[in-house]
């Protein structure tokens, strides 16, 4: 959740509106944050004064206020990097400096203009990966290298020099058969497999590494920063346009003193003067906001000057690229020429807009490229603000144009070019060479870890709202689910449950007996999630604050005092989660004696961990704030949320002595966040487009390792009508994280508040989710084991079917279920693409068989959720849907065997206790394998290491696409064959075997005769 008309609008806008030259905490008039201890109910009802004030601050339209967030043009390093033009790289590799060890190669690069030497390190990594690191050979100060994201030092493989001439070196990379040709001048690297060029590094010469330097005695140096910002203001008075960066002051290198070219003209001028620009960027470093940068009312002091890094890659033969979440955009990335690059900078964006490259709450700097031959990935391990430009030589071409090229044999090979630009740190990039999609997922998760296996309840249905008012309200909602016979596992409490937004506390009048409340839920096997945000109320009467302050755990300002910003509680400190001691202390706060009122069935939600700072630049922290080790916030901004979730998850683990698996939902994330829990797509809105975009948003996350993703069902802002709500429950039922949530100002929307008919539809959708929990759980287990995404784009399973490459209105769960949720208002039908040459798909509701590939028009009514099971798969279900997942633990399974055209099928099932680490530490699990061939269904263990006793049994086997047998026999080792009753539907070719009754852990076979 997050509001925040008031405060979101606050940061830059209102501060500057109301109090001109005041920097620092915005003395906001009556925002909820300001009112001491004001429970939001109060502030919610706040008088007209606040309302009027809000009205002033709010744009009338429902959309993001774009001016609160930077464009590339307004982010000085992005502007500088982008001003580097192709074809004139000043960098040369000093081939004579090459040093080869068993697993790595080191080599110096030199910028021939400024003579600053860089160190290039190249590692061949096991599993078909290559790592390239570029840093300064001897930087003035160490540059930030991202810690804690890689699960370990990636194991390396051998490297060998296999060829050499005066301007290049050829290296062989391990056993993968890849070769790398490193060219000295201009510096570039080309990666080949056989004779095929796979990928090039720096082919356009956009490598641009701003070395650390001492500040020159320039004009801007002489003016104090306050005068400087005043100067900016004065200038902005005269120029009614974007404030320009400090005026160039002669003396740098004696080149023509041409002022910085404003963006619009830049591109046109570039082409004509690309030659002379060659030394431009360096000069630009001195000019363009290098030592100070002002955005709106906020000034970034930049004591280290320009530190950005940038590099380009070419992907010949690739037209489809994916990944680099989080953006509210299509699955397939678009080219960014003529617009802003995709931005990665974790931000709390109020009422975000769809279909644009603006930054959102989280960042994963992994880009995937895919064609029919190969999938590969570029993982840019940098936690600073990052922008990614994508261009393509086919972007403008029509399909016909491409065909013409092809037929004429001419035309270029389609190619995508990617350019990464980060504000600080080093270049540390991993080339994941596939070649199959599954390989890339394995490679990436070998580096950053796989999806944590969530406790089973976390995959079930969650009921949330900002806010359930009090214990009575919670009890009524809990009862409501039983009264209306709708399953629900978790009820959530947003910020209003706390005592004045002091996390780890409870509002004494609304939640006086939290343990009673939790006990009441536990009696129905239900759980609760409470919110714990990382901003800590500055209040000397608040123990958490006092401890963090006295231990020196807060993030510091550039002057060394505790940094304070505005957030929900008013003035707040931000614990330095990058400090391992701080994280250990934070984790200890979740023990039952520290977090009073908590119990085993209470789990945690971390919101606002971008971090969100209502009065900070772009609603976040100053970049010159300081973290442990003296690192600037600039260096590690995108890691903050990752660390918050990490520390919280560790806390939940520790409170059970390391036995229980945690559940933590986070809004911000980074590469590797998959190890700590779930994420959601933040503060969306009750609009059809927002529901629709949840599919590509979660697919993009899934491709980059984060499988446990969902969107607020119903939409956070605004109130959905019944049709949208019903449809959203249907969409959410087939997405990994399934939580309904709503803004404080919306009308109540528990599933039973929309009439009997809609209630029944919602109930049916949630029940479908619960019936499929065994399949979800098994698919998550695979993700945990092998890094394969839970929710998958079609191309992942059908990599040579070009039709699938741009599909993002339907998706797969695992490899067996294809879902095309209805996302159009008033839909009469949907076009479902069924992939797979020579394959068949079965409608899971009607069991009707469809041949693939084809685009199928499926008529729909309000109850329809088009879902198909792939012929050749076996999906386990539990069809006795109960009030919570835990209540279904002992229940029997039904196996859905969908026969391929060849009459075969395969599937598996993972079972453990559903909530502990015993599956890992004690191998207490069952991994069962089912296969159907030659009219015989066989169950055996898929992993003999796992041993687990389950009370569950098999009550039914449903075989789709089967003929009618004369008889059906069940055979178990050491027992006489028994006959099974069965029922055959000739119209749909569905054969139902009655009550095999075997334990789920047993080996058996069933033959149709």
Partner 1 sequence: MLLLPLLLPALSALASAVEVKRPRGVSLTNHHFYEESKPFTCLDGSSTIAFEWVNDDYCDCQDGSDEPGTSACPNGRFHCTNAGYRPQYIPSSRVNDGVCDCCDATDEYNSGFVCENTCKEMGRKEREALAQMAEVAREGFQLKQVLIEEASKGREDKQRTLAELQEGRKSLEEQVETLRSVKEAAEKPEKEAKEIHQKKWEEQKAAEKAAQEQARASDAFQELDDDGDGLVSVAELQTHVELDVDGDGTLSETEAQTLLGNALQADASSFRDAVWAAIKENYKPEGLPDAAPLPEAPEPQPDLPLEQPAPEDDYDEEEEEEGDDDESNEEEPKVPPPKQPADKTAEEDEAEKMPPYDEATQALIDAAQKAREQFEEAEKSLKEMEDSIQSLEKEISFDFGPQGEFAYLYSQCYELSTTEYVYRLCPFNRVSQKPKNGGAETNLGTWGSWAGPEENKFSVMKYEHGTGCWQGPNRSTTVKLTCGKETVVTSTTEPSRCEYLMELVTPSACQEPRDPGAADHDEL
Q: Nearest approach, Cβ of 659 to partner 1 (angstroms)?
A: 21
Q: Round to whole Å and give the CA distance between 324 and 346.
A: 12
Pairing of strands 490-493, 461-463: parallel
Asked whether the beta carbons of 876 and 774 are under 8 A apart, the reply is: yes
**For residues 140 and 230, which CB has a smaller minimum distance to partner 1 in the complex?**
230
Q: How far is the CB of 450 from partner 1 (least distance, A)?
A: 32
Residue 485 binds partner 1 (CB under 8 A): yes
Q: Does 913 bind partner 1 (CB under 8 A)?
A: no
Does residue 890 bind partner 1 (CB under 8 A)? yes
Can you read off the two tokens belonging to residue 300?
A: 């970034």
Which residue has 């953006």 as its token pair? 327
Stretch touching partner 1 by CB under 8 A, among 707-715, 820-828, 854-862, 887-895:
887-895
List strand residue ranges (DSSP E) for 238-319, in order.
Answer: 293-295, 298-300, 309-316
Q: Which CB atom, from 334 or from 995, has the smaller least distance to partner 1?
A: 995
Nearer to partner 1, 394 or 498 (CB): 498
Q: Does 879 bind partner 1 (CB under 8 A)?
A: yes
Sole binder of partner 1 in the list 20, 61, 271, 846 (CB under 8 A): 20
Among 551, 922, 940, 994, which residue interacts with partner 1 (rule: CB under 8 A)?
994
Q: To the nearest whole angstrom, how small is the minimum distance from the Cβ of residue 509 to partner 1?
A: 5
What x-and-dash track marks residues 742-781 binding partner 1 by CB under 8 A? --xxxxx------------------x--------------
What DSSP line would sit under 175-195, residue for residue? GGTEEEEEETTTTEEEEEETT
Residue 891 CB, shortest distance to partner 1, in Å, is 7
Q: CA 622 to CA 970: how far, in whole Å?
A: 68
Any contact of residue 1002 with partner 1 (CB under 8 A)? no
Q: How far is the CB of 996 from partner 1 (least distance, A)?
A: 10
d(C-alpha 792, C-alpha 195), whole Å? 32
Q: Is 509 in the site for partner 1 (CB under 8 A)?
A: yes
Structure tokens at 327: 């953006």
Query: Is the Cβ–Cβ distance between 704 and 325 less than 8 Å?
Result: yes
The tokens describing 335, both together, are 């080219």
Find all residues with CB under 8 Å of 980, minimum gap 6, and list them.
968, 969, 970, 993, 994, 995, 996, 1006
Looking at the DSSP assignment, which residues form a beta bridge with residue 462? 490, 739
Cα 207 to Cα 185: distance, rounded to the nearest angstrom: 13
Q: Tell me how far apart the terminal alpha carbons of the chain are, to the nearest angstrom.
A: 58
Residues paired with 432 in a beta bridge? 129, 377
Nearer to partner 1, 525 or 918 (CB): 525
* The only residue of 880, 929, 971, 984 in contact with partner 1, by rule CB under 8 A: 880
Is there binding between residue 886 and partner 1 (CB under 8 A)? yes
User: Is 233 among the residues that bind partner 1 (CB under 8 A)?
Assistant: yes
The answer to whether the CB of 684 falls within 8 A of the CB of 694 is yes
Residues that contact partner 1, how many (by CB under 8 A): 51
Region near partner 1 per CB under 8 A, out of 135-143, 476-484, 644-652, 821-829: 476-484
Q: Compute the least distance from the CB of residue 20 to partner 1, in Å.
A: 4
Q: Which of 172, 525, 601, 941 binds partner 1 (CB under 8 A)?
A: 525
Total Cβ atoms within 10 A of residue 706: 30
Our finding on whether 22 is near partner 1 (CB under 8 A) is: no
**Is 69:22 a contact under the CB 8 Å cutoff?**
no
Question: CA 664 → CA 32, 255, 709, 864, distances in Å?
Answer: 26, 56, 12, 32
Burial (Cβ within 10 Å: 0-12, 13-18, ≥19) of residue 393: middle
- Rule CB under 8 A: is residue 8 a binding residue for partner 1? no
Task: Rank residues 253 and 967 by Cβ distance to partner 1 and give the closer one.
Answer: 967
Stretch that binds partner 1, among 100-108, 340-348, 722-730, 878-886 (CB under 8 A): 878-886
Task: Enumerate the active-site residues.
Answer: 607, 683
How crowded is residue 275: how many other Cβ atoms within 10 Å of its Cβ?
A: 9
Q: Residue 90: enclosing H or E segment and its boundaries?
A: none
Q: What are phi and psi of 624, to 5 degrees?
A: -95, 10
Phi, psi of 472 (to 5 degrees): -65, -40
Min dist. Cβ of residue 919 to partner 1 (A): 22
Query: How many residues does this entry show for the chain?
Result: 1009
Residue with tokens 């599933």: 751
Residue 964 is a binding residue for partner 1 (CB under 8 A): no
Nearest approach in angstroms of CB 982 to partner 1 is: 12
**Residue among 48 and 966 whose Cβ is closer to partner 1:** 48
Q: Which residues are registered as beta bridge partners of 953?
A: 999
* Minimum distance, C-beta of residue 60 to partner 1, in the bound complex (Å): 12
The Cβ of residue 934 has, within 10 Å, a number of other Cβ atoms equal to: 9
3-state secondary structure (DSSP) of residue 1006:
strand
Which is nearer to partner 1, 322 or 770 (by Cβ)? 770
Mark residues 417-456: x for contact with partner 1 by CB under 8 A, - for none: ----------------------------------------
676-to-28, 581, 651, 890, 919 alpha-carbon distances in Å: 35, 18, 11, 28, 17
Closest approach, Cβ 18 to partner 1, in A, equals 8
**Least distance (Å) from partner 1 to the CB of residue 6?**
9
Contact region with partner 1 (CB under 8 A), list: 167-175, 564-572, 576-584, 880-888: 880-888
Q: In which order are the strands placed within the sheet that holds 978-979? A: 978-979, 968-971, 1004-1008, 936-941, 926-933, 905-911, 873-877, 893-898, 954-960, 990-994, 981-985
> Does residue 237 belong to the site contacting partner 1 (CB under 8 A)?
yes
Task: Decide if residue 268 touches partner 1 (CB under 8 A).
Answer: no
Smallest distance from partner 1 to CB 441, Å: 36
Interacting positions 51-110 with partner 1 (CB under 8 A): 51, 54-55
Q: Which is nearer to partner 1, 105 or 959 (CB)?
A: 959
Strand 1004-1008 and strand 936-941: the pairing is antiparallel
Please report whether residue 479 would count as binding partner 1 according to CB under 8 A: yes
Residues 26 to 55 in contact with partner 1, rule: CB under 8 A: 39, 41-42, 44-45, 47-48, 51, 54-55
The answer to whether the beta carbons of residues 539 and 36 sit under 8 Å apart is no
Identify the three-state secondary structure at position 133.
strand
Residues between 665 and 704 that touch partner 1 (CB under 8 A): none
Give the residue, chosen from 235, 520, 995, 1002, that forms a contact with partner 1 under the rule CB under 8 A.
995
**Closer of 390 and 685 to partner 1 (Cβ):** 685
Q: Taking CB under 8 A as the criterion, which residues in 824-853 touch partner 1?
A: none
CA distance 168 to 170: 7
Instruction: Spell out, one character per residue from 709 to 748, where the chain touches partner 1: x when CB under 8 A holds, - when not.
Output: ---------x-------------------------xxxxx
Q: Does 956 bind partner 1 (CB under 8 A)?
A: yes
Minimum distance from residue 10 beta carbon to partner 1 (Å): 15
Distance between CA 475 and CA 590 in Å, rounded?
24
- 159-167, 208-216, 785-793, 884-892 -> range binding partner 1 (CB under 8 A): 884-892
CB atoms within 10 A of CB 320: 22
Residues in contact with partner 1 by the rule CB under 8 A:
5, 17, 20-21, 39, 41-42, 44-45, 47-48, 51, 54-55, 233, 237, 469, 472-473, 476, 479-480, 482-483, 485, 509, 523-525, 718, 744-748, 767, 879-883, 886-888, 890-892, 955-956, 994-995
């Amino acid at each position: 959740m997050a509001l925040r008309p008031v405060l979101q609008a606050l940061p830059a806008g209102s501060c500057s509106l109301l109090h001109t030259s005041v920097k620092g905490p915005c003395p906001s008039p009556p925002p909820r944050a300001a009112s001491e201890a004001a429970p939001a109910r109060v502030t919610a009802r706040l008088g007209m004064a606040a309302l009027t004030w809000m009205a002033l601050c709010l744009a009338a339209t429902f959309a993001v206020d774009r001016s609160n967030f930077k464009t590339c043009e307004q982010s000085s390093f992005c502007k500088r990097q982008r001003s580097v033009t192709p074809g004139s790289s000043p960098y040369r590799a000093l081939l004579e400096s090459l040093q080869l060890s068993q697993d790595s190669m080191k080599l110096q690069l030199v910028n021939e203009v400024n003579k600053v030497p860089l160190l290039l390190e190249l590692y061949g990594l096991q599993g078909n990966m290559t790592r390239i690191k570029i840093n300064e050979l001897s930087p003035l100060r160490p540059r930030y290298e991202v810690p804690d994201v890689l699960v370990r030092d990636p194991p390396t493989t051998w490297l060998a020099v296999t060829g050499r001439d005066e301007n290049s070196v050829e290296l062989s990379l391990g056993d993968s058969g890849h070769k790398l040709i490193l060219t000295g001048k201009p510096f570039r690297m080309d990666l080949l497999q056989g004779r095929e060029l796979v990928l090039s590094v720096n082919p356009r010469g956009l490598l641009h590494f701003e070395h650390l330097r001492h500040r020159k005695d320039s004009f801007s140096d002489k003016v104090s920063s306050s005068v400087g910002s005043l100067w900016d203001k004065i200038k902005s008075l005269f120029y009614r346009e974007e404030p320009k960066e400090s005026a160039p002051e002669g003396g740098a290198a004696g080149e023509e003193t041409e002022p910085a070219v404003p963006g619009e003209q830049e591109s046109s001028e570039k082409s004509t003067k690309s030659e002379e620009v060659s030394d431009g960027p360096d000069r630009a470093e001195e000019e363009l906001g290098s030592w100070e940068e002002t955005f709106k009312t906020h000034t970034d002091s930049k004591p280290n000057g320009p530190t950005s890094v940038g590099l380009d890659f070419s992907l010949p033969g690739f037209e489809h690229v994916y990944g680099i979440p989080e953006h509210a955009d299509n699955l397939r990335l678009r080219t960014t020429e003529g617009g802003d690059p995709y931005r990665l900078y974790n931000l709390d964006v109020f009422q975000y807009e769809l279909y644009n490259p603006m930054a959102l709450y989280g960042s994963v700097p992994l880009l995937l490229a895919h064609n029919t031959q190969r999938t590969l990935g570029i993982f840019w391990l940098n936690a600073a603000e990052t922008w990614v430009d994508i261009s393509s030589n086919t972007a403008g071409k029509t399909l016909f144009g491409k065909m013409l090229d092809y037929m004429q044999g001419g035309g270029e090979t389609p190619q995508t070019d990617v350019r990464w630009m980060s504000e600080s740190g080093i270049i540390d990039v991993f080339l994941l060479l596939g070649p199959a999609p599954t390989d890339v997922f394995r490679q990436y998760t070998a580096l950053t870890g796989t999806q944590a296996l969530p406790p089973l309840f976390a995959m079930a249905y969650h009921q949330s709202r900002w806010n359930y008012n009090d214990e009575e309200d919670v009890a009524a909602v809990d009862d409501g689910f039983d009264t209306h016979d709708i399953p629900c596992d978790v009820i959530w409490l947003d910020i209003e449950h706390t005592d004045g937004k002091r996390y780890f506390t409870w509002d004494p009048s609304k939640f006086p007996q939290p343990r009673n409340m939790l006990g009441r839920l536990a009696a129905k096997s239900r759980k609760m999630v409470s919110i714990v945000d990382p901003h800590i109320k500055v209040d000397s009467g608040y123990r958490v604050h006092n401890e963090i302050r006295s231990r020196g755990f807060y993030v510091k300002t550039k002057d060394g005092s505790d940094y304070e910003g505005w957030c929900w509680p008013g003035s707040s400190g931000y614990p330095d989660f990058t400090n391992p001691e701080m994280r250990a202390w934070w984790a200890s706060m979740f023990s039952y004696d520290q977090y009073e009122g908590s119990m085993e069935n209470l789990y945690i939600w971390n919101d606002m961990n971008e971090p969100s700072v209502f009065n900070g630049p772009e609603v976040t922290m100053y970049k010159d704030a300081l973290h442990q080790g003296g690192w600037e916030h600039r260096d590690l901004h995108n890691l903050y949320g990752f660390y918050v979730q990490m520390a919280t998850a560790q806390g939940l683990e520790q409170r059970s002595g390391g036995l229980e698996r945690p559940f933590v939902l986070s809004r911000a994330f980074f590469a590797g966040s998959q190890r700590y829990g779930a994420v959601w797509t933040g503060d969306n809105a009750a609009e059809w487009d927002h529901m629709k975009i949840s599919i590509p948003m979660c697919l993009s996350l899934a491709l980059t390792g984060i499988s446990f993703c969902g969107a607020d069902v119903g939409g956070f802002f605004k109130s959905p009508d019944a049709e949208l709500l019903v449809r959203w429950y249907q969409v959410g039922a087939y997405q990994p994280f399934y939580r309904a949530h709503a803004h404080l100002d919306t009308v109540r929307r528990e599933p039973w508040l929309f009439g009997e008919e809609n209630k029944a539809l919602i109930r049916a959708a949630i029940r479908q989710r619960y019936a499929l929990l065994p399949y979800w759980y098994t698919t998550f287990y695979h993700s945990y084991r092998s890094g394969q995404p839970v929710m998958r784009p079609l191309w992942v399973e059908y990599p040579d079917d070009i039709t699938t490459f741009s599909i993002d209105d339907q998706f797969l769960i695992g490899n067996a279920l294809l879902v095309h949720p209805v996302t159009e208002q008033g839909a009469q039908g949907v076009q479902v693409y069924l992939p797979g040459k020579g394959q068949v798909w079965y409608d899971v509701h009607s069991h009707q068989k469809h041949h693939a590939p084809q685009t199928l028009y499926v008529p729909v009514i309000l109850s329809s959720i088009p879902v198909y099971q792939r012929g050749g798969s076996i999906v386990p279900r539990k069809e006795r849907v109960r009030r919570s997942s835990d209540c279904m633990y002992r229940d029997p399974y039904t196996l859905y065997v969908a026969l391929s055209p060849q009459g075969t099928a395969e599937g598996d099932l993972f079972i453990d206790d559903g909530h502990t680490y015993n599956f890992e530490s004690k191998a207490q699990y069952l991994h069962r394998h089912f296969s159907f061939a030659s009219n015989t269904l066989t169950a055996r263990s898929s992993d003999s290491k796992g041993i687990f006793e389950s009370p569950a049994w098999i009550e039914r086997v449903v075989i789709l696409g089967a003929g009618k047998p004369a008889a059906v026999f069940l055979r178990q080792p050491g027992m006489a064959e028994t006959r099974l009753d069965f029922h055959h539907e000739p119209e749909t070719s569905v054969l139902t075997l009655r009550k095999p009754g075997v334990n789920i852990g047993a080996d058996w076979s069933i033959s149709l005769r």
